[in-house]
Amino acid sequence: MNGEPQDVSEMTRDLAAAAAGAHSGRAAHTVHGGHEATLRQTVIALRGGAGLAEHENPGEATLLVLEGRVRLTSTAAPQELGKGQLLAVPVERHALEALEDSVVLLTVAKLPA
């Protein structure tokens, strides 16, 4: 973010369209930060059935569903989230699956190395 407002609704539509046509079934755009920053926010669109394979959590993270319905799995019980729901991502390895065409906002604050 460069200090200017961003239209997340428009971004959601554009990324959903990109995910629909992508072989992987997903598309993403980092709206703030990056790999070098402590705080990173990324909008991720997933076609229904697509997901993010199991991976480590690099720090504190939250997941906000902007559109659709997703399932977050970890060693704890799976959590299903719908539009407007926010969840703190578990610290352990986890995966994300879109139960229908979905768009989420992932916010991560990396732990110091």
What residues are paired with 71 via a beta bridge?
A: 80, 97
User: In the prediction, which pLDDT does 76 show?
Assistant: 79
Q: In order along the chain (113 residues), what is the average pLDDT of each group of 10 residues? A: 82 96 96 88 97 85 97 90 96 93 95 71
Q: Which three-class secondary structure state does DSSP give residue 92?
A: coil
User: In the prediction, which pLDDT does 95 show?
Assistant: 94
Residue 11 is given by DSSP the state H
User: In the prediction, which pLDDT does 113 show?
Assistant: 65
Nearest partner of 93 among 74, 67, 66, judged by Cα: 74
pLDDT digits (tens, 9 = 90+) for 56-77: 877 899 999 999 999 999 887 8
Mean pLDDT computed over every residue of the chain:
92
CA of 7: how far to CAs of 4, 24, 33, 81, in Å? 10, 25, 17, 23
